Amino acid sequence: MRLVKEYLPRAYANGNDIAARAQMMSAAMMGATAFQKGLGAIHALSHPVGSVFNTHHGTTNAVCMPAVLDFNAEMIRDRFDMAAAYLGIEGGFEGFTAFVQSLNDQLGIPRTLSELGATPERIDELAEMAIQDPSCGGNPVTLTIDNLKELYRRCM
């Protein structure tokens, strides 16, 4: 996470910054290793959106992340309080979520799935697809059709 915090804005600002890109490559490898632990709601929401609306997976994940962090808050607050401190972010969990949105804004990530072309009329279909996604099992809060629909509404 430290590598992403420090080097993603640099790599984004200057694609020729080889040092920043190398650090992001290291961060990507660490992230791939972390996937072995499992995924969760962010990916469960993103996979159907990408499938139906042909969106970029990483961008779709980034759009969904703030809503999912908020949704999972009760179960993840302590860990993200520690992560925020580790990253030098003040404000614990709330500071971390504010940092995520700020980073998304800095990188030009849309704030809503609608900005990516997703439509609220398809929420029921998307939720039915999401509940079948294997990523659901890794979420700290049990996912249901109803809370997936609510998450999609928040992300739209």
Cβ–Cβ < 8 Å for 21, 44: no
Could you tell me what percent of the chain has a pLDDT over 70? 100
Count of domains forming the chain: 2
Domain identity same for 87 and 143: yes
Band of residue 35 on the pLDDT scale cut at 50, 70, 90? confident
Whether residue 32 sits in one domain with residue 57: no
* Residue 27 belongs to domain spanning: 1-37
Clarify whether residues 67 and 125 are in a common domain: yes
Q: How far apart are CA 121 and CA 47, in angstroms?
A: 17
Question: What's 74's domain CATH number?
Answer: 1.20.1090.10
Residues 92 and 143 in one domain: yes
Do 70 and 104 lie in a common domain?
yes
* pLDDT 10s digits, 55-109: 999 999 999 999 999 999 999 999 999 999 999 999 999 999 999 999 999 999 9
Check whether residue 109 and residue 92 sit in a common domain: yes
Indicate the pLDDT class of residue 37, thresholds 50, 70 and 90: confident
Give 8-75 as a DSSP string.
Answer: HHHHHH-TT-HHHHHHHHHHHHHHHHHGGG---HHHHHHHHHHHHH---HHHHHHHHHHHHHHHTHHH
Q: Which two tokens mark 103?
A: 């980073």
- Same domain for 74 and 113, yes or no, is yes
Q: In this model, does residue 34 exceed pLDDT 90? A: no
Do 119 and 141 lie in a common domain? yes
Let me know whether 54 and 110 are in one domain: yes
Same domain, 87 and 12: no
Q: Residue 153 is which amino acid? A: R
Q: Are 20 and 3 in contact (CB under 8 A)?
A: no
Q: Looking at residue 36, what is its pLDDT?
A: 73
Q: State how far the Cα of 85 lies from the Cα of 73, in Å rounded to an integer.
A: 17
Co-location of 14 and 63 in the same domain: no
CB of 41 within 8 A of CB of 31? no
| pTM, rounded to two decimals | 0.93
CB atoms < 10 A from the CB of 62, how many? Answer: 20
